[in-house]
Amino acid sequence: MTDTTGVPDARPAPPKAVAERVPQKPPGTSAWSALRPLVLRLHFFAGLLVAPFLLVTALSGMLYALSIPGEKLVYQHELSVSAPENGTRLPLEQQVEAARAAHPELEVTSVWAPAEAEDTTRVLFADPSLGASKSQAVFVDPYTAEVRGELVQYGSSGALPLRTWISEFHRHLHLGEPGRIYSELAASWLWVVVLGGVMLWIGRRRGRPGARGFLLPRRGMDKGRSRTLNRHAVLGVWAAVGLVMISATGLTWSTYAGARIGAVQDGLGGATPVLGAELTPGETGGAHDEHAGHEGHDGQHTGGSESAGPDVGLDAAVAAATARWVDAGVVVTMPTDGQGYKIAESDKQVPVHLDAVSVDPRNGEILSELRFADYPLLAKLTRFGIDAHMGYLFGLPNQLALAALVGVLLLLVVWGYRMWWLRRPAGRAVGKPMPRGGLRALPVGLLVPLIAVVAFVGWFLPLLGISLLVFLAIDVLLGLRARRSPEGRPVS
């Protein structure tokens, strides 16, 4: 060895083993410095492997949000009418009779009264041939009782064929249970990828004063990986809250995680209350005799139950609900054996109108009331979260915000893959992964609580836990293979 002047260096060369040994955790290293390699590797592989699922889920979710206003255009003839100058609507019972004439063989299950002057009345029929959660919807002009058309409706959200197809593609790719697993897997990993990225950016910005570099892209950077990383990180920080919310709310109605979330919510007293509508056998009121034979059906219900007995009628039931301030675009569930009318508001925008009452069909008296203001806090938050996820809570602004959030996610994924591509060594077609060894390098004080947290999260989100175990098993096997191969290098 020689120094810079060319004079031989008399110092002996360090032993080879000492020269090549790199300490796993230098003295004084912070907890974040020890944890960072593990978070970086998890963020890298989770983003790399789950990104295709996230892209499909995000794009289909954006289409679903935009399909809500889109349905009003596609099915304009069925959903809207020209309101006359006098604006006088026919009785609901007369409108239901017009719909019944189109399907006399089917049973009326519910009636959606128009919320706006230009809306049609929607009468739903139970049709076993349509499959689970689907009904035959007949649309009636509330001013003339003309049947405007009929479509198949899915679920309580009122989704028509266009939105139903997109919804099923978003939830399970039209593949049934295997597709539901894919959707839940994407939602389970989304928040992990997002929070991991935020942690990495916070760690990278530590010690640098000011929030500008944290929240705004740096200007004047050369094109390349550093510039892409800066944009990827800053945009990810801005979108983090929205993406985590999408992940959390999407999991609430997933198959496996949804059951866990529901159990925890119920255990904390946050279950959504249910409107009672049970009838007390043998009790009648004065209205019972007064309205006997009402509607010209010899005392039969307009729909729902086919049991004998007088009924105050659909319009009287709605009037009773209106008197209790339940009148914002109501949905009426027809009475069945042992159950009265259920009349609920359906306006999920802000301010929220979701109050409901049940009405005794024998006398028109209120059986029970359920006010949204009386919901437990967790039930309210769940309702708000789900409605925001689906694009209902704020109407069109909500739907546009979801579309923008999907656009952001697309950019994050594209920039993430670009950074991986730019990391590729010379002569290789793909980028190199983050190095192994992050888990083994953790001190016991971090490793034990980390394992406990991961175990709990894996139990709470089963598909996340299972996929993480599969990833770790494959990673360990690849590490062992690399150690034993002739050209393999020791795992750090």
Beta strands 121-126 and 341-345: pairing type?
unpaired
State yes or no: pLDDT of 287 exceeds 90: no
Q: For 330-356, write each residue's pLDDT tens digit.
A: 999 999 989 999 999 999 888 889 999
Q: Can you give the pLDDT at residue 475?
A: 77
Asked whether residue 297 carries a pLDDT value surpassing 60, the answer given is: no
Tokens 């750090």 belong to which residue? 492
Q: Is the pLDDT of residue 416 over 80?
A: yes
Amino acid at 260: R
Residue 340 has φ and ψ, to the nearest 5°, of -90, -175
pLDDT at 272 over 60: yes
Rounded to whole angstroms, how far apart are CA atoms 483 and 24?
18
Q: Is 253 exposed, middle or buried (0-12, 13-18, 19+ CB in 10 A)?
A: middle
Residue closest to 402 by CA, chosen among 271, 242, 269:
242
Please report the pLDDT score of residue 409 as a whole number: 94
CB hemisphere CA count around 11 (13 angstroms): 5
Q: Is the pLDDT of residue 210 over 70?
A: no
Chain mean pLDDT for the chain? 84
Of the candidates 301, 318, 383, the one whose C-alpha atom is nearest the C-alpha of residue 357 is: 318
Residue 181's pLDDT band (cuts 50, 70, 90): very high
User: So what's the pLDDT on residue 218?
Assistant: 78
User: Region 92-117: what's the mean pLDDT?
Assistant: 96
How many Cβ atoms are within 10 Å of 268's Cβ, its own excluded?
A: 11
Distance CA 380, CA 482 (A): 52
Coil/strand/helix, residue 107: strand
The DSSP 8-state label assigned to residue 280 in this structure reads P
Q: Would you say how long the chain is, in residues?
A: 492
Instruction: Please tell me the least confidently modeled range out of 108-112, 280-284, 308-312, 379-383.
Output: 280-284
- Percent of the chain past pLDDT 70, that is, above it, reads 82
* Centroid of chain to Cα 156: 16
Instruction: Give the whole-angstrom CA distance, residue 219 versus residue 226.
Output: 12
Mean pLDDT of 126-143: 95
Beta strands in 105-218 (DSSP E): 107-112, 121-126, 134-140, 147-154
Of the ranges 16-20, 72-76, 79-83, which one carries the lowest mean pLDDT score?
16-20
The whole-angstrom separation of Cα 302 and Cα 219 is 69
Q: Which amino acid is at 8?
A: P
**Amino acid 216: pLDDT:** 84
φ/ψ of 145, rounded to 5, equals: 65, 20
State residue 217's pLDDT score: 82
Q: What is the pLDDT of residue 148?
A: 97
Mean of the pLDDT values across residues 137-153?
97
pLDDT of 434 higher than 90: no
The dihedrals phi and psi of 330, each to the nearest 5 degrees, come to: -75, 150
Per-residue pLDDT tens over the stretch 232-243:
999 999 999 999
For 304-320, the pLDDT digits (tens) are 444 446 799 999 999 99
Give me the mean pLDDT over the 9-21 stretch: 46
Sequence-distant (6+) residues with CB within 8 A of 314 are 91, 92, 93, 96, 111, 295, 302, 332, 334, 341
pLDDT over 70 at 486, yes or no: no
Region 227-251 average pLDDT:
93
H or E element, residue 342? strand 341-345
What's the rounded mean pLDDT across residues 151-167? 95
**pLDDT reported for residue 233:** 92
DSSP, collapsed to helix, strand or coil, labels residue 483 as helix
To the question of pTM greater than 0.85 for the whole model, the response is: no
Cα–Cα distance, 140 to 94 (Å, whole number): 10
